[in-house]
Amino acid sequence: SLVEGAKYIYRRRPLFWLYVLSAGVIMMGAPFRENMSPFAIEELEGGPGTYGNLLSLLGLGALGGSVILAATSGSKNKGSMLIISGLVWGAMILVFSQVPSLPVAVPVLLILGSAQAISFTILSIVIQGTVDDAYRGRLLSFHLLSFSAAGFTGLAIGHVVDWAGVRTTFLGMGVVIVTFVLFMALWRKDIRRLG
């Protein structure tokens, strides 16, 4: 069943490249949350309360992103929305790497949380809406697998944080995500056309 599902994804090229895009963004972007703790302590000179505030802001932004997505649910440009949310996600990680204090981080994390929520939800909507019923469960399994793969990149990113510092690591993560999404958007027009 897994092999048959993988062949189905590969034959449906827009879907295949959508998986590549989502896996790349998730693998580079998801470890951001785990490394906010050293950022709160070392860079913002806070403690557990500061870390909790940072996570709360991400959650509040995600709630806002869900509202935005609900308001634009009739849009036929889901591929473009996915590209834009991926670019915003990477750009906000890049901007966050330079924030000097918690008050400055507030709007950045609200936008970042919103972009994450929009990106995750649109991926699920497009996957659910473009596959044949017989393959839906298997394709969702592949999608969830990309979240698991983020654990491996998270380990590597943790080592980079120890070596280069958390600000530099976040800066690099943001640059990689923005570059990757831009490359995919320019190279694969079929992703932009997904409805």
Write the pLDDT tens digit of every residue in 17-53: 888 888 888 888 888 888 999 999 999 999 999 999 9
User: CB–CB of 152/30 below 8 Å?
Assistant: no
Residue 191 CA to residue 195 CA, distance in Å, equals 9
Six token digits for residue 105: 């981080």
Percentage of the chain beyond pLDDT 70 is: 99
Residue 16 CA to residue 9 CA, distance in Å, equals 5
The model's pTM is 0.88
Give residues with Cβ within 8 angstroms of 112, minimum separation 6.
58, 61, 88, 89, 92, 93, 96
Residue 83 CA to residue 193 CA, distance in Å, equals 11
The helix (run of H) or strand (run of E) holding residue 21 is helix 13-29
Least confident range from 27-36, 144-153, 172-181: namely 144-153
Residue 188 CA to residue 181 CA, distance in Å, equals 10
Q: For residue 120, what pLDDT band results from cuts at 50, 70 and 90?
A: confident
